[in-house]
Chains A and B, each alone.
Chain A
Amino acid sequence: MSPPQCTDLATIGIKSLRARVEEDPDFLFKYIEEVYKIIEKYEGVIKAYITLRPMEEVVREAEEVLKRGTLGPLGGSLVAVKDNISTKGIRTTCGSKMLENYVPPYDATVVERIKTAGGIIIGKTNMDEFAMGSTTENSSFFPTRNPWDLERVPGGSSGGSAAAVAACEATVALGSDTGGSIRLPAAYTGTVGLKPTYGLVSRYGLIAYASSLDQIGPIGRCVDDVARVLSVIAGHDSRDSTSLKVEVPDYTQFVSEEPLRKYRAVVIEEMIGEGVDREVIKVLEHVVDKLEGYDIEVEFRSIPILEYSLPAYYIIAMAEASSNLARYDGLRYGIHLSTEGLLWTKTYAQVRKMGFGDEVKRRIILGTYVLSEGLYEGYYLKAAKVRRAIYDSFRKLFSEFDFAVSPTAPTPPPKLGEVVADPLKLYSLDINTVPVNLAGLPAISVPGGFVGGLPVGIQLFGPPLSEGVLINVARMVEVIVGYER
């Protein structure tokens, strides 16, 4: 099932696109035209992109891709890139006025790899400012709308990327996930979003929100597309000191409708507790029932420490954010003010007052507070201990199970304006996604069904580097819910 914006041609995945282009290179231009037709028709309402590249430019790049001799694993796919990932020569705003006119002089590692693999950057997608938000309403520029229901949010912070993919305004997209920012929008837009193991994908060029939690990952309309993009962007990068030195497999080998081995699955009670919509739980139950049909044992476990995951997450994320965002002072890049007659301290204050939105300011202030002399031990250090405890609990859990399954989000997508004004309500959307980031685990959100015509996502997560297992099971879920292309 696709939202109304998509056409058969535009819904095509990487595998088919590549095959068709291999047969007939001109097909790539037909495809590009089709995507731009959709953009022309719907982008004015959906507003997935902050910066869209003109079709001529994309066509020119497609010509170059075709001239290369080998098509590359992405074979001319149109890749929408979240606007916190640096693109050489293409404005990268991070959804913030602060960087409204910032054009990076370098490509992020993932962008380099996408280009080398024959992907074409189609544009930069809308997001919550500095990735701080769960609805994309915190963008400094405009909110993005959910292609399934234009009154509703697409989730966030990678809402632009998810909406662009859902509405067929791109083949696939890159998002970033600090506490659920890939998985939540994927769940809300009926797309597949994967947050890799921390360190599997290079963060070089990703504008940091919370460095110890941030990961770049793919969003696609099907598991196969996500596996293909992951195969391209994963792998060690010497420019990122947190990058893992591991061999990366071709993840498409895990895209199988049958279990590749015997799996044991777990449902964590705290992830289906209070606050999770009854209808959403029914969707989960349906999927779990079907998985059991594949001879996958599913058990229930309780991890009480998860009660503290949201506060621990927000303390750590805000502390790191207050540090990462210190550099935005308008001196070297970003918004520039006439500073004549002003002391530099006043200029800095003015730049930061004007450049940052309310949510960003809130998190910088709270983050500064928790790192302060005398408070550090009570907040940051304690949060770090909770984090460690969560990591240990999961490690123990996954010595017994291959993966966990949960609802990605506690509810279907809310309406615009419904939660954004209430920070606590907004933060609770991430209740099931943040523990995964705290532990640095891989997770995937895959469409599990609909509630009231709105998509609901199922989250699968497992031990470090279990992306292959998650892709395998996610593909099975696709088959289970008949959500196939």
Chain B
Amino acid sequence: MSDRVIIGLEVHAQITSLKTKLFCSCSSDYRGRKPNTNVCPTCLGLPGSLPVLNRAALEKAIALALALNCRISEKLIFVRKHYFYPDLPKNYQISQYDRYGLIPFAVSGSIAIDMGNYSKVVRIRRINIEEDTGRIVYPGGSPLGSTYSLVDYNRAGIALLEIVTEPDFSNSREARVFLEKLGSILEHLDITDTSLEGALRADANISVAGGPRVEIKNIGSPRELEKALNYEIARQLNILKSGGTLERETRHWIKEKGITVPSRAKELEGDYRYFPDPDLPPISIPPDLIESIKRRLPELPDLRARRLAEEYGIGSYMASVLVLNKRLCDHFENTVRLCGNPKLVSSILVNEFLRWVDELDLDLGEGLRRLNSKRLCRIVDYLEKGLISVKLLKEYVRRVIVENTDPEKIVESGMTTLSSAEDIEKIVEEVFKEYPKAVEDARRDPKAVNFLVGQVMKKTRGRADPKLTNAIILRRLQEHESG
């Protein structure tokens, strides 16, 4: 039995750049409002209310479909998908469907992802335009800690793009990179501000070792997606190893606990009774509208990566990582405009910045504010002037991000490379006195020199210039021999 993993994704992206909801004139900016104040007869599903399509949503959807190389249908046919749930005002969702002569909005696209040592083309099965639901609010914070629940319909009717992939992912990392890239494409197209809570959500279908398909719902970011999939793969493999069997089910990702739990919402499964929405006659999508949107498409991540690699000479993998996030990429270009050094800047952003943002669970935008272009350029400047070593530079970046402090403050605290030969001489002398045995060893075996260098670094807390230190130690060793 192989441990082969097959993963497919169903992504929901809110069109946050719209002014209004998908079918009414309520604001699309629902966050932070008093519950149930961003509502009207239509998005509350009051008797007699009717939906009218927000045409701007169609244009955004066309842009995405073009960016993902999808085939766009000639007609936009809305259907009703029925299920009872308290967050769904009409107890049906207006969406699209692909059977009985009904058609999705767009089909058969793709996104290429760069995994560093290999790349992969992920197939997009379809894109649909649909409405978001309201939100269930638990006064106790979670279903278990609450004796009742409340519903907030401020989000109900927000325009969503549903992007469904083929089951083309073989591991969690690919899924994550895909979701990051999709998010970046949505950012570049000015469709979704992915930094907003709940603006980019994913459900994952996963099958391990030929087992049944398990759906994981409620995943809120690329990083959470990777975590959820890792958890789920391990969980399923454990069950199989201990001789258990897996069942086809829907599970919920609980971000706070880092686990998936069986979904209690059995009522969600079953027969949705799709049929064309009689309130929304089919809308033809004119080819010239598609053409004009095509002409106005902005630079998208793939092209941008190619340009970055060429323009700044930063290497194509580095570029492909940068373009996974539009704001990171913009930050890179802004910083380089300010102080040059594209290779160093890109390496700091990709290798240091992203690591700390991940490790500290920091919002990327907040991370970028902390390591802003001015601060980043200052650090680069210190390195160029020899004030700090590459090793210290990493420490600077960490402290700027963690402490949200200016690099100047760190310099003032005295954390600079010891570059005066005189100062280093003193410390080398101390080390030679403390470790006579090591000095003997070093004379016979050049490899043992590293130990002495390490001790100097330890005493200076890494501030000593390693090259200079090395040179001084070698000279002293020779002096001892001859002297």
Partner among A204, A322, A326 whose Cβ is within 8 Å of the Cβ of B84: A326
Residues facing B in A325-351 (CB within 8 A) are: 326-327, 329, 331-333, 344-345, 348
Decide if B47 touches A92 in the complex (CB within 8 Å). Answer: yes
Q: Report chain A residues within 8 Å CB of B52.
A: 238-241
Q: How far is the CA of A331 from the CA of B45 in the complex (A)?
A: 11
Decide if B100 touches A381 in the complex (CB within 8 Å). Answer: yes
Decide if A239 touches B46 in the complex (CB within 8 Å). Answer: no
Say if the beta carbon of B390 comes within 8 Å of chain A: no
Q: How far is the CA of A210 from the CA of B277 in the complex (A)?
A: 11
State the Cβ distance, A58 to closest chain B Cβ, in Å.
23
Decide if B100 touches A241 in the complex (CB within 8 Å). Answer: no
Residue from B80, B151, B271, B275 having most chain A Cβ neighbours under 10 A: B275
Residues facing B in A305-334 (CB within 8 A) are: 319-320, 322-323, 326-327, 329, 331-333
Q: How far is the CA of A86 from the CA of B278 in the complex (A)?
A: 20
Q: How far is the CA of A368 from the CA of B273 in the complex (A)?
A: 8
Residues facing A in B43-66 (CB within 8 A) are: 44-53
Stretch at the interface among B85-93, B321-329, B379-387, B457-465: B85-93
Q: How far is the CA of A125 from the CA of B359 in the complex (A)?
A: 66
Decide if A105 touches B41 in the complex (CB within 8 Å). Answer: yes
Decide if A242 touches B281 in the complex (CB within 8 Å). Answer: yes
State the Cβ distance, B154 to closest chain A Cβ, in Å.
14
Q: How far is the CA of A108 from the CA of B50 in the complex (A)?
A: 11
Say if the beta carbon of B267 comes within 8 Å of chain A: yes
Report the count of interface residues on A (CB-CB < 8 A).
Answer: 46
Decide if A239 touches B50 in the complex (CB within 8 Å). Answer: yes
Say if the beta carbon of A104 comes within 8 Å of chain B: yes
Say if the beta carbon of B430 comes within 8 Å of chain A: no
Decide if B53 touches A327 in the complex (CB within 8 Å). Answer: no
Decide if B48 touches A371 in the complex (CB within 8 Å). Answer: no
Q: How far is the CA of A344 from the CA of B82 in the complex (A)?
A: 17
Say if the beta carbon of A294 comes within 8 Å of chain B: no
Say if the beta carbon of B330 comes within 8 Å of chain A: no
State the Cβ distance, A60 to closest chain B Cβ, in Å.
26
**With A104-B46, A239-B50 in contact, is A372–B275 under 8 Å at CB?**
no
Q: How far is the CA of A99 from the CA of B82 in the complex (A)?
A: 22
Q: How far is the CA of A323 from the CA of B78 in the complex (A)?
A: 14
Say if the beta carbon of A207 comes within 8 Å of chain B: yes
Closest to A376 in B: B100
Residues facing B in A88-111 (CB within 8 A) are: 92, 94, 99, 102, 104-106, 108
Decide if B275 touches A380 in the complex (CB within 8 Å). Answer: yes
Closest to B279 in A: A211
Decide if A242 touches B279 in the complex (CB within 8 Å). Answer: yes
Say if the beta carbon of A57 comes within 8 Å of chain B: no
Q: Report chain A residues within 8 Å CB of B46.
A: 86, 104-106, 332-333
Q: How far is the CA of A21 from the CA of B92 in the complex (A)?
A: 49
Closest to B42 in A: A239
Q: Report chain B residues within 8 Å CB of A102.
A: 47
State the Cβ distance, A242 to closest chain B Cβ, in Å.
6
Decide if A208 touches B45 in the complex (CB within 8 Å). Answer: no
Closest to B36 in A: A332
Q: Report chain A residues within 8 Å CB of B278.
A: 210-212, 242, 320
Partner among B48, B82, B86 whose Cβ is within 8 Å of the Cβ of A331: B86
Q: How far is the CA of A92 from the CA of B48 in the complex (A)?
A: 11
Say if the beta carbon of B280 comes within 8 Å of chain A: yes
**With A323-B82, A323-B92, A345-B267 in contact, is A241–B45 under 8 Å at CB?**
no
Say if the beta carbon of A442 comes within 8 Å of chain B: no
Decide if B44 touches A104 in the complex (CB within 8 Å). Answer: no
Query: Interface on chain A toward B: helix, strand, loop, or mixed SS?
Result: loop
State the Cβ distance, B254 to closest chain A Cβ, in Å.
21
**With A86-B48, A376-B275 in contact, is A326–B91 under 8 Å at CB?**
yes
Q: Report chain B residues within 8 Å CB of A205.
A: 48-49
Q: How far is the CA of A323 from the CA of B45 in the complex (A)?
A: 12
Residues facing A in B22-55 (CB within 8 A) are: 41, 44-53
Q: How far is the CA of A319 from the CA of B280 in the complex (A)?
A: 16
Q: Report chain A residues within 8 Å CB of B80.
A: 323
> What is the 8 Å Cβ interface bit string for chain B, positions 117-138, against chain A (1 contact, 0 not)?
0000000000000000000000
Decide if A206 touches B271 in the complex (CB within 8 Å). Answer: no
State the Cβ distance, B479 to closest chain A Cβ, in Å.
85
State the Cβ distance, A199 to closest chain B Cβ, in Å.
9
Q: Report chain A residues within 8 Å CB of B53.
A: 241
**Interface size class for chain B?**
20 to 34
Decide if B45 touches A327 in the complex (CB within 8 Å). Answer: yes
Closest to B78 in A: A241
Q: Report chain A residues within 8 Å CB of B90.
A: 326-327
State the Cβ distance, A78 to closest chain B Cβ, in Å.
22
Say if the beta carbon of A377 comes within 8 Å of chain B: yes
Decide if B47 touches A203 in the complex (CB within 8 Å). Answer: no
State the Cβ distance, B87 to closest chain A Cβ, in Å.
10
Q: How far is the CA of A116 from the CA of B359 in the complex (A)?
A: 64
Decide if A206 touches B48 in the complex (CB within 8 Å). Answer: yes
**With A344-B86, A376-B100 in contact, is A241–B279 under 8 Å at CB?**
yes
State the Cβ distance, B257 to closest chain A Cβ, in Å.
24
Closest to A240 in B: B50
**With A212-B278, A242-B279, A372-B273 in contact, is A99–B47 under 8 Å at CB?**
yes
Q: Report chain B residues within 8 Å CB of A108.
A: 48
Q: Report chain B residues within 8 Å CB of A326.
A: 82, 84, 90-92
Closest to B272 in A: A373
Q: Report chain B residues within 8 Å CB of A368.
A: 273
**With A207-B48, A331-B151 in contact, is A348–B84 under 8 Å at CB?**
yes
State the Cβ distance, B445 to closest chain A Cβ, in Å.
76
Q: Report chain B residues within 8 Å CB of A106.
A: 41, 46
> What is the 8 Å Cβ interface bit string for chain B, positions 231-260, against chain A (1 contact, 0 not)?
000000000000000000000000000000
Residue from B50, B82, B90, B151 having most chain A Cβ neighbours under 10 A: B50
Q: Report chain A residues within 8 Å CB of B82.
A: 323, 326, 371
Closest to A213 in B: B278
Partner among A84, A94, A104, A373 whose Cβ is within 8 Å of the Cβ of B271: A373
Q: How far is the CA of A106 from the CA of B24 in the complex (A)?
A: 14
Q: How far is the CA of A357 from the CA of B299 in the complex (A)?
A: 59
State the Cβ distance, A119 to closest chain B Cβ, in Å.
19
State the Cβ distance, B12 to closest chain A Cβ, in Å.
22
Decide if B47 touches A323 in the complex (CB within 8 Å). Answer: no
Q: Report chain A residues within 8 Å CB of B84.
A: 326, 329, 345, 348
Q: How far is the CA of A446 from the CA of B460 in the complex (A)?
A: 104
> What is the 8 Å Cβ interface bit string for chain B, positions 2-33, against chain A (1 contact, 0 not)?
00000000000000000000000000000000
**With A323-B275, A326-B91 in contact, is A86–B47 under 8 Å at CB?**
yes
State the Cβ distance, A28 to closest chain B Cβ, in Å.
30
Q: How far is the CA of A206 from the CA of B82 in the complex (A)?
A: 21
> What is the 8 Å Cβ interface bit string for chain A, positions 359-385, against chain B (1 contact, 0 not)?
000000000100111001100110000
**With A323-B92, A323-B273, A327-B90 in contact, is A332–B279 under 8 Å at CB?**
no
Q: How far is the CA of A320 from the CA of B41 in the complex (A)?
A: 20
Q: How far is the CA of A354 from the CA of B106 in the complex (A)?
A: 43
State the Cβ distance, A393 to closest chain B Cβ, in Å.
22
Q: Report chain B residues within 8 Å CB of A323.
A: 80, 82, 92, 273, 275
Interface residues, chain A, CB within 8 Å of chain B?
A: 84-86, 92, 94, 99, 102, 104-106, 108, 203-208, 210-212, 238-242, 319-320, 322-323, 326-327, 329, 331-333, 344-345, 348, 368, 371-373, 376-377, 380-381
Sample of 12 more A-B contacts, CB < 8 Å, known A241-B53, A241-B280, A333-B47: A85-B48, A104-B47, A108-B48, A203-B48, A205-B48, A207-B48, A208-B47, A238-B52, A319-B275, A323-B92, A345-B84, A371-B273
- 27 A-B residue contacts at CB 8 Å? A84-B48, A85-B48, A86-B47, A104-B41, A104-B48, A106-B41, A204-B49, A204-B50, A205-B48, A206-B48, A207-B47, A207-B48, A211-B279, A239-B50, A240-B52, A241-B280, A242-B279, A242-B281, A323-B82, A326-B84, A327-B89, A329-B84, A332-B46, A333-B46, A371-B82, A371-B274, A371-B275
Interface residues, chain B, CB within 8 Å of chain A?
A: 41, 44-53, 80, 82, 84, 86, 89-92, 100-101, 151, 153, 267, 271, 273-275, 278-281
